Amino acid sequence: MTQLTNVPNPADFSHVRDWVFDLDNTLYPHRVNLFAQIDRNMTAFVSELLQVDGVEAKKLQKQYYLEHGTTLKGLMIHHKVDPDAFLQKAHSIDYSPLIPHPELGEAIKALPGRKFIFTNGSVPHAEATARALGILEHFDDIFDIVAADYVPKPAGETYDKFVALNRVDTNRAAMFEDLPRNLKAPKERGMKTVLIVPNNLGETVLESWEYAGSEDDHIDYLTEDLEHFLTALNRAL
């Protein structure tokens, strides 16, 4: 089982030249819960589009998420929804719960090589989020759901698209994510994988990890503090 640690072995990362970060719940803590706002906006969008009440809208929203990986993909297939209109509405949120995190910015900046955001959200959402955290300037590029042709992680083809577009050598890359399933494809492609777990839920999450047994073979590291993990890594590299 992967052990929880904030102190990575530098030998595992000394070859890495491309650093790939998920956005939501990875670059800011899970407890900020921006998703609750996005979730409400998506429900409102579905409700307005299909002229159904909130309960019915929520049901459809979740059904599409389960069947197609994102609510948007389901809306595009079944209702020919304009993805731009949906993404704009979904991400019309209040970013003020995000607190600037200059130490994280410094840690990302100090990593040797390129840094990417790879998100199932949109570029405007990623930019607004990273700007609110004060870390936007440290990234070379953002790969979003539009660049992915609306096929979300964890689909392998979407990682391949990201890798090809940016000429990433997956054997010299690392990926940071809060969803275990999104680390399977990068691990299969040779990347180092780091799972970020919520620190306020640490014990609960760890317990469920123990139950998972060997299911976490695709996770190289498990940390509850991205900033400390990267700072320790920079010191050792």
The site for Mg ion (CB under 5 A) is made up of 22, 24-25, 178
Cβ closest to Mg ion, residue 178 vs residue 220: 178
Question: Can you state the angle between helices 54-68 and 71-79, rounded to 10 degrees?
Answer: 100
Tell the smallest beta-carbon distance from residue 181 to Mg ion (Å).
Answer: 11
**Helix, strand, or coil here: 192?**
strand
Tell the smallest beta-carbon distance from residue 72 to Mg ion (Å).
Answer: 16
Question: Can you state the angle between helices 83-90 and 71-79, rounded to 10 degrees?
Answer: 150
Cβ closest to Mg ion, residue 117 vs residue 163: 117
Q: How many helices (H) and strands (E) does the chain have?
A: 10, 6
Cβ closest to Mg ion, residue 34 vs residue 75: 34
Tell the smallest beta-carbon distance from residue 191 to Mg ion (Å).
Answer: 16
DSSP E strands: which ranges in the chain? 18-21, 114-118, 141-143, 173-177, 192-196, 221-223
Tell the smallest beta-carbon distance from residue 24 to Mg ion (Å).
Answer: 4
In degrees rounded to 5, what are phi and psi of residue 177?
Answer: -150, 155
Tell the smallest beta-carbon distance from residue 25 to Mg ion (Å).
Answer: 4
CB-CB contact of 196 with 178 (8 Å): yes
Tell the smallest beta-carbon distance from residue 204 to Mg ion (Å).
Answer: 18
Cβ closest to Mg ion, residue 24 vs residue 224: 24
CB-CB contact of 69 with 62 (8 Å): no
Cβ closest to Mg ion, residue 25 vs residue 170: 25
Cβ closest to Mg ion, residue 144 vs residue 178: 178
The dihedral of CA 42, 44, 50, 55: what is its sign?
positive
> Percentages helix, strand, coil for the chain, rounded to the nearest 5?
55, 10, 35
CA nearest to 196, candidates 31, 55, 84, 10:
31
